[in-house]
Structure 1
């Protein structure tokens, strides 16, 4: 069979050859065409690779063309003026080769134009920098590359859902709360080599947990609940957490200088003031999702901005920013404008969120015969729950009590009118009011406290209903404490006269307060118990620039920052009663930040019972402290004994070595014995050196 097939193939080939010869005879030209259905095994890329690289593409010549939408629609008489404006804006990205203004049948422009640059790079730069450019109040440019039409046409019609990402375990971000002794952590920033240290405030001495050089290039910040440590870098922000402080997330934002966490740590706001000066398409204000690291929305930050630009509601559901005669409230997770429109409030100056409810407080300045006004606004309903008119107002500052029970509006007022010029009133003299809003009472009553003297500081008691005010002129500085009760006007509880202080620092647990004279007052400190208003201790930390309470209210840190002065930098740790526990002198010390703790899960009733029976629990903690101190003393004695033992052993080895080298020494010294061998005890000379280690003074009462 195989032979038969081969014979048939050969005869068929002969017939083809004969027909080819006959055709050659007829046309005198060879036929090189491929038979029907023939496939060439060699591709064009293999044969013509160099030439195919130069093959023209459909997009050639249009990569340098941009489409500008949002252009004003004008008639023929204004076209030349429009062209001049367009060229002035877009020629700074590169020379414009040609321009085309589409027109309708009436000769009016259609609102979009085509511009061609000499190079594609110029067109790309125009798209990045001119997009969303406002030419006037009604027109904003939308700029795209002409090639984007093709790109969007090729988008497939069938949508494929993204593949689910594997779950990434972040570890226990609140592991430090499980410490059996409830020790808190604090972070120290040192300017030397940009060193950042994490310490555990253990007894009797703090112990270091983590230390890294160049961990951050400028500053660090804890998140509100203490889950993350944020570090700043030229290219963005990094978050660290867990037992080993591993990197949790990175957020790329060149030149970032300011960040702000939302209260529940769901979102992070980053701000780069120099974004306009950096190359490329830089964004000034970005909101990120902390868990996923995704960019949720960007905003334009125009004009003067006070950080934080956005202020968050207590539950992360809303955030708001102030504008010219308007307040813009946004919702999450859509990040869209609430009800798709801003709240128009002519003359708005400032606003603040309640720390426990979705209630906004804002104030509006006076306008001719219209008085200033403080308004409480519910979100998202936008219902005004309370408003208070104020007259002769120069400025207002709003202070919320931590539990949201009270709002204090510090009002600076002009005392009298001296003249009226061109419908404007001229004032003279100042006095001060504190308008107290009782947020939990029916119809939100408002009480007023008036003080004639200048106000230097105001602070609510975090847990309680007292507030403190520093007021007065020159050396006659006073500190007044007021109490607020339901159904009663605020009453003066205590006034301290002639105090050298300018700052108030309440304990996070309430009751205790530090009156501090920082900066030019030399670092004076007074620890006060506000239950009976007893000054527990008066002292001084010279040149102190910072005071920081730990989150439990057990310890206070006073510090001298290298950012404020270059000498005597370091920090001191005090008990809440004003007893010094540790003095740490650290060169180039910059800042100490206590790690925050989340809100306690214990109900208020149970917390009250613990405070009531505190003496019952204190005995076991005191015995534990004594045991810890004795253990520390025992460890110190054992350590010193071990050092002495090691020294004696080392000394014996060196003496034996010295004796074994006796012959070599005699050889080098021409057999002259210089070792003074009167007795074996004089082989080695001993020198006793004494130096001062430390001094402890115990006062026996």
Structure 2
């Protein structure tokens, strides 16, 4: 990590900036800001850092902590920088005036001078932020069924717009990046009319879209431009799934090119929700995680052609590194927190796998060599803290907090950092990471992913001796000599299982003072018993010299009718058959073979099957 790399953290009563490796030391001049802090953020180019206090919005230089401007403003709850950091917008709690109108609670200030240049009213905190073009010359905002454009000069007059785009029922829009910005708009389906996503040129008189796509099943839509502003992904969603297969509604993904040369629906080969979409910084590729768990991760080029599909796994987050060399695929939220790192420039070869449980924030560092994971409040009220991992999966920094509300890297231009050719084999960890690993050896899984092998039951796993050749449950049952098992004084032969033979456990229950329970003999058992007694009587009446040369069959074999001694043993054999099938599925899974959802559910029943066997009086040797 370059010395230019920083990250900031915000807790309820403190804000701080930490320098990157090798120091990880807090910047001076930040310890004094310890009043109530509602929000804090960097400007998109990383030149400024702002945070709110009950009566002020303070903008500082993150290089040394010196104050750039201090804006007197009460009850500011949210802030937002323009793309180049020249302006800062603020949102205050809306207050209704005597006239019945709300006061202007959205204000835009010049960052350096702190001068107010424009203001308007927005009752809702969601969607209040003014959207600037990349060159900061135009501001766009929705007003009723119009998108109004305003020129940004020394002052902003929101009562006089520069241009207007009238679209009935327009719900959202997104300005594109790049030197020639365009605007994408979304209109949901309503009263039988299809939903619509359109792309428009920003001109003084906007009349018709460059390209447009209509479709049904869209209550809302996430619009995502690539970094050049040449292609748009539209993730359309419904609140309710008409097929009742998903609690989260239905999703469909569409791709539009601004030249109008293509617009299509992205075909996904697995049913279920779309968990995440992201563009590569190169603007030539995007990744999608979709489908019921275990989810599928696929990569497409800028025209929607499939490039690569990863094996199904429980993942819901995908992030490209700034240089687009590495791809992070992880499962956060209600998933385990496993993070996989792939080398995109080496045919998606897996570089590392590590565990980052309870992660609510995950980001690549600006130099593309480190990964920040954090547990923040109010997402989780316990185990709040920051961890920094090297891209090889090694933990290099850890810091715990009683409560931390926000964490992020300082944005830096990519040209400040050289392209990555390879990773250090042994990056030096901070002492905090060493202490954490020593204190939590099982929680700090790091390094390259472990090679997969065949599943071994617990009793057959390595204990210092050479491992025996792996045998499946079925093979061991065939090779076993049908081990003898005792049950209520009689013996029978039951096959051994994947973890060894089973033997009977005494199940007699005695109530003090009560007569012993006498089991009633079944008709079939009584008939067999009479046959055996008749044979014995006949054999006793025959002269020894007239007896056949061959020995009489063993009593143990005569006790078995049709190969099963009782209903209890029938059930045991059926359960053992289920256990064999479960182990075969485990071996397929360990070998990297894809399993169906029903097969995964079957594996999860192993504990139940073993519990039923134990309840029937069989225990594992």
- Tell me the TM-score normalised to structure 1 length: 0.54
Distance 1:325 1:530 in 2: 43
1:472 lines up with 2:291 in the alignment: yes
Q: Decide whether aligned partners of structure 1 residues 582 and 322 sit closer, same or farther in structure 2, where only a CA change above 3 A counts.
A: same
For residue 392 of structure 1, what is the aligned residue in structure 2? 216
Tell me the equivalent position of 1:676. none
The answer on 1:448 being equivalent to 2:265 is yes
Distance 2:83 2:5 in 1: 20
TM-superposed deviation, 1:320: 1.0
Contact kept? 1:183, 1:202, Cα under 8 Å: no
Alignment match, 1:231 = 51
Q: What SS does the corresponding residue of 2:266 show, helix, strand or coil?
A: strand
Q: Choose from 256, 263, 267 the match for 2:83.
A: 263
Contact (CA 8 Å) 2:294, 2:315: kept in 1 or not? Answer: no
TM-score using structure 2 length: 0.61
The aligned counterpart of 2:546 is none
On the 8 A contact 2:150/2:163 being kept in 1, the answer is no
Larger Rg: 1
Q: 1:698 to 1:237 in 2, by over 3 A?
A: closer
Which of residues 483, 486, 505 in structure 1 aligns to 2:319?
A: 505
What's 1:332 paired with? 152
Deviation at 1:225, TM superposition (A): 1.2
Secondary structure at the counterpart of residue 600 of structure 1: helix
Distance 1:540 1:697 in 2: 6
In the other structure, the counterpart of 2:230 is 405
Aligned: 1:188 with 2:9: yes
Deviation at 1:430, TM superposition (A): 7.2
In the other structure, the counterpart of 1:600 is 415
- Structure 1 residues 287 and 480: alpha-carbon distance in aligned structure 2, compared to 1, 3 A threshold: same
CA 1:581–1:340 in 2, change beyond 3 Å: closer, same or farther?
A: closer
Displacement of 1:258 in angstroms is 0.8
- 1:273-292 equivalent positions in 2, closer than 5 A: 273-276=93-96, 283-292=104-113
* Alpha carbons of structure 1 residues 571 and 693: separation in structure 2 relative to 1, 3 Å: closer
* SS of structure 1 residue aligned to 2:334: helix
CA contact (8 A) 1:375 1:384 kept: no
CA contact (8 A) 1:518 1:546 kept: no
Trace 1:96-111 onto structure 2 (pairs within 5 A): none
Distance 1:580 1:266 in 2: 37
- Superimposed CA distance per residue, residues 223-275 of structure 1 (whole angstroms, 9 cap, x where no aligned partner): 11111111111123110116431221122221110111110111111111244
What are the residue-to-residue correspondences of 1:134-153 with 2, within 5 Å?
Answer: none
Q: Secondary structure of 1:209's partner?
A: coil
Give the aligned partner of residue 209 of structure 1.
27
Structure 2: 5+ residue stretches without partners: 432-437, 451-621
1:391–1:413 CA contact under 8 A, matched in 2: no
Q: Distance in 1 between matches of 2:230 and 2:146?
A: 27
Distance 1:277 1:465 in 2: 51
Which residue, 376, 379, 398 being the options, matches 1:561?
376
| Whole-angstrom CA distance in 2 between matches of 1:308 and 1:500 | 35
The aligned residue for residue 666 of structure 1 is none
Question: Quick one: which of 394, 399, 419 aligns to 1:579?
Answer: 394
Q: For each residue in 1:355-388, what CA deviation from the matched residue of structure 2 results, as whole angstroms up to 9, or x when unmatched?
A: 1132111022334464332221112332534232
**What is the CA-CA distance between 1:585 and the residue it aligns to?**
2.9
Q: Which runs of 5 or more structure 1 residues have no equivalent in the other structure?
A: 1-178, 419-428, 602-606, 634-691
Whether the aligned pair in 1 keeps the contact of 2:52 and 2:76 (CA below 8 Å) is: yes
Alpha-carbon distance between aligned partners in 2 of 1:366 and 1:417, rounded to the nearest angstrom: 15
Q: Contact 1:276–1:282 at 8 Å: present in 2 too?
A: yes
Determine whether 1:520 maps to 2:334: yes
CA offset at residue 354 of structure 1?
Answer: 0.4
Matched, 1:481 2:481: no
Contact 1:354-1:404 at 8 Å conserved across structures: yes
Alpha-carbon distance between aligned partners in 1 of 2:90 and 2:373, rounded to the nearest angstrom:
29
Give the direction of change, closer, same or farther, for the CA distance of 1:235–1:438 in structure 2 (3 Å limit). same
